[in-house]
Amino acid sequence: MAEPIRHGGNLREAARRYGIALEDWLDLSTGINPRAYPVPPVPVDAWRRLPEDADGFAELAARHYGAPGALPVAGSQAAIRALPSLLRTGVAAVAALTYGEYAPAFERAGHRIVPLDVMSTTLPEDVDHVIVANPNNPTTQRISHDVLLGWHGQLSARGGTLIIDEAFADAYNDASLASESDREGLVVLRSVGKFYGLAGIRAGFVLASQPLRDALNETLGAWTVSGPARHAVSAAFNDHAWQTATREVLAHDSARLAALIRARGFDAFSTPLFAWFETSNAAALQHTLAQKGIWTRLFEHGKSPSLRIGLTRSEGEWSRFAQAFEQTVGSQ
């Protein structure tokens, strides 16, 4: 039996393991914005009526992302599971340390998985598909548009596909290839959960050519995104002032987090939503912080063990974490 895929946000598991009440934890194990978008009251009809494709929701998303077209899905996770079966079976390249759902999804559909060399501009001739997060989770690495489009050119020439997961791209102004997503063999996945802090509504979008969106829509079926979720996402997409202010806050908070980690001797990398660093003591650091009721995300794969730490929601939470982190590092 395959080992279960581990994700952040498994706070109930941590509470049971350490015997600390759920409400006493500070959960920094995800890359989700802790200051979620303040969703306005949901209209009654959003609960009562089935969602309708003609409500303009897909068109709003396409405009928001600057894409030729968009398919609403129940979080980008739904697309990650369904897309592999729609592609020609072959060799799929995935980075060694990235979001853990890509490789299993392609393996289940009969593809062979090989490691992706993210530093190379030339793909091996036997690679049919590439799946890459940009920026990557957890390493924070960003791949330039020129490299990505170069990969796409190589793959499309052999009938392959480049899938770019931009779940963390909303926190930047220049990170997306959404405008190029009508190219055959190019798929861009977008998530509402991270930047907007609305992971619980399970809403995302597939930006791709019309034929692939139609095929995926047929596979997933009707009503993939609920009425209340459509209401929440529409409000968030239309609130440009909130988006601008939030990018500024996240940039400040992540810079402060990375600076704290670096001040204690670690080589930290960050996106506006989390910081990540490698250390042989990652497991011990996670354990000691957990004993203080602070939950972080441990990665035991890759070149070295590593730790990902998300952002705090308030100055009180920041003070609690900063003090605990400095005490923990000092005791190692």
Compute the average pLDDT of residues 130-158.
96
Q: How far is CA 225 from CA 47, 74, 76, 202, in A?
A: 12, 5, 11, 7
Average pLDDT over residues 296-308: 90
pLDDT digits (tens, 9 = 90+) for 182-191: 999 999 999 9
- Residue 50 burial (CB < 10 Å; 0-12/13-18/19+)? exposed
Please give the structure tokens belonging to residue 95. 């980075």
Question: Is it the case that residue 165 has pLDDT exceeding 50?
Answer: yes
| Fold that domain 50-238 belongs to in CATH | Aspartate Aminotransferase; domain 2 (3.40.640)
Nearest Cα to Cα of residue 80 among 147, 33, 132, 30: 132
As beta bridge partners, residue 188 has 164, 207
> How many Cα atoms sit within 13 Å of 42 on the Cβ side?
15
Q: What is the mean pLDDT of residues 302-315?
A: 93
Question: How does 154-171 read in b/e, with b if 16+ C-beta sit within 10 Å?
Answer: bbeeeebbbbbbbbbbbb
CA gap 327, 294 in Å, rounded: 13
- Chain segment 142-155, per-residue pLDDT in tens: 999 999 999 999 99
Reported as half-sphere exposure (CB side, CA atoms, 13 A), residue 5 has a value of 11
Residues 6+ apart with CB under 8 A from 5: 100, 101, 104
Can you tell me the distance from the alpha carbon of 193 to that of 200, in angstroms, rounded to the nearest whole number? 7
Mean pLDDT score of the chain, rounded to an integer?
94
Q: How many CB atoms lie within 10 A of CB 5?
A: 11
pLDDT digits (tens, 9 = 90+) for 33-70: 999 999 999 999 999 999 998 999 999 999 999 999 99
On the 0-12 / 13-18 / 19+ scale of CB atoms within 10 A, 219 is middle
Single pTM value for the model? 0.93
Would the CATH topology of 11-30+241-331 be identical to that of 50-238? no
- The hierarchical CATH code for the domain 11-30+241-331 is 3.90.1150.10
Alpha helices, DSSP H only, in the chain? Answer: 11-18, 44-48, 57-65, 76-82, 102-108, 145-157, 210-220, 227-238, 240-263, 282-291, 315-331
* pLDDT score recorded for residue 3: 52
In the prediction, which pLDDT does 187 show?
98
Predicted local confidence at residue 330, as pLDDT: 76
- pLDDT band for position 1 (50/70/90)? very low
Residue 232, pLDDT > 70, answer: yes
**Are 61 and 70 spatial neighbours (Cβ–Cβ below 8 Å)?**
yes
What are the residue ranges spanned by the domains of the chain? 11-30+241-331, 50-238
